[in-house]
Amino acid sequence: MALKNGICKMEKFIIECPLGKVVVNGCEKGIHEIQLQSDAEISEQVTTVSYKVCETPPEKTQPMKECENWLRTYFCEPWLIEDVPIPAFHHPVFETDSFTKTVLVTLLEKVKVGETVSYKELAELAGNKKAARAVGMALSHNPIPVIIPCHRVICSNGDIGNYSSGNANKLKALLLGFEMVMKQMKNAAFHADHL
């Protein structure tokens, strides 16, 4: 659904989940951004699995369908998330080679659910061990939070550090806690299957 002059024909869908309202914008080439509406009240922990589509176009592009499936799986069947395809991204940060792109792609590929990495460790993984502060700046430009898991990057001393959206500490802590529960559920299911 991209227009012939190169300008994308945008579409969006909105979901309600444990993070509050989440707005996803994209086109037929990929996801442009995920906006976390984190000014809403956020509970201290995820106590129920919830996911509701509030607004959606009549026909979604393939990347938007894949994104919706990924988010639904993440919040409703998190133990399956590693088997779900990640949608294509279509945002300027992914169009040219840059340190920001390298950091975001490295984070997506190397740091899995229930894991954390320090800014310094991520700088090393991205190929520049002296760039811990630059990693923080790169993460602040992440247009696809949750899928590109900048919430998994913490300080070397164990503090959770900053998050690019409002209600930062609460939202980041919620995601980290949710993912620890996900990991425990997956491990329990694995052990039950192999008894």
Which tens digit of pLDDT belongs to each residue from 22-40? 999 999 999 999 998 755 4
Q: Is 5 within the bounds of a domain?
A: no
pTM of the model: 0.86
Helix 132-139 with 99-110: angle, nearest 10 deg: 80
Asked if residue 107 has pLDDT above 80, the reply is: yes
Query: What residues contact 153, with CB distance under 8 A and at least 6 apart?
Result: 107, 111, 116, 117, 118, 119, 122, 135, 139, 161
Range of the structural domain that residue 121 is part of: 92-193
Q: Is 189 within the bounds of a domain?
A: yes
- The pLDDT value recorded for residue 54 is 84
Which tens digits make up the pLDDT trace of 134-167?
Answer: 999 999 999 999 999 999 999 999 888 877 654 5
Residues 106 and 60 both lie in one domain: no
Please give the positions annotated as active site.
Answer: 150
Query: What residues contact 69, with CB distance under 8 A and at least 6 apart?
Result: 84, 85
Residues 122 and 182 both lie in one domain: yes
Question: What is the SS3 assignment for 163?
Answer: coil
Which tens digits make up the pLDDT trace of 158-195?
Answer: 888 877 654 567 788 888 888 887 777 667 665 666 66
Which CATH number covers residue 38? 3.30.160.70
More confident residue, 5 or 122: 122
